């Protein structure tokens, strides 16, 4: 099956710093999503980004599908950005209703005041 690797596994930042999280995947994909799991356990959608670049406030993401990686940028980090960031991918298929969304192990981010 498709492999999803996220780096770094852990990250500690001072409030106001910028960071880049990476997601590598081992096969072509139909679907790539970034999620933030907050300290209360909620999974919050950040980006649906199988290819290209998107921005939402202080966050932006870029997926280079041909090179099988995606990057999540967090600028001017805040303490509320703390939590675990997951990348999840669905392997590309040319038929049927869709495959499994496979999650990486996550990057645990801690933003200190």
Partner 1 sequence: DAGVIQSPRHEVTEMGQEVTLRCKPISGHDYLFWYRQTMMRGLELLIYFNNNVPIDDSGMPEDRFSAKMPNASFSTLKIQPSEPRDSAVYFCASSFPRKGLAGYNEQFFGPGTRLTVL
Q: Which residues bind partner 1 (CB under 8 A)?
A: 30-31, 33, 35, 41-43, 45, 48, 86, 88, 90, 93-103, 105-106
Considering the complex, state which of residue 66 and residue 94 has its C-beta at the smaller distance from partner 1.
94
105 prior amide bond cis, ω within 30:
no
Distance from C-alpha of 88 to C-alpha of 32, rounded to nearest angstrom: 6
**Shortest distance in whole angstroms from residue 103 CB to partner 1:** 4
Considering the complex, state which of residue 17 and residue 101 has its C-beta at the smaller distance from partner 1.
101
Hey, which residues does 84 pair with through a beta bridge? 37, 108
First to last CA, the chain: 40
Considering the complex, state which of residue 16 and residue 98 has its C-beta at the smaller distance from partner 1.
98
**Shortest distance in whole angstroms from residue 88 CB to partner 1:** 8
**Shortest distance in whole angstroms from residue 84 CB to partner 1:** 10
Considering the complex, state which of residue 30 and residue 82 has its C-beta at the smaller distance from partner 1.
30
Q: Over the Cα atoms of the chain, what is R_g?
A: 14
- 17 alpha-carbon distance from chain centroid: 18
């Amino acid at each position: 099956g498709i492999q999803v690797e996220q780096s770094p596994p852990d990250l500690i930042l001072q409030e106001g710093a910028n960071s880049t999280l990476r997601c590598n995947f081992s096969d072509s994909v139909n679907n790539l999503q970034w999620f933030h799991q907050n300290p209360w356990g909620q999974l919050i959608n950040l980006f649906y980004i199988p290819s290209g670049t998107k921005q939402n406030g202080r966050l932006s993401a870029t997926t280079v599908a041909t090179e099988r990686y995606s990057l999540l940028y967090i600028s001017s980090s805040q303490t509320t950005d703390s939590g675990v960031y997951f990348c999840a991918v669905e392997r590309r298929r040319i038929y049927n209703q869709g495959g499994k969304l496979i999650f990486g192990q996550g990057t645990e981010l801690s933003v200190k005041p």
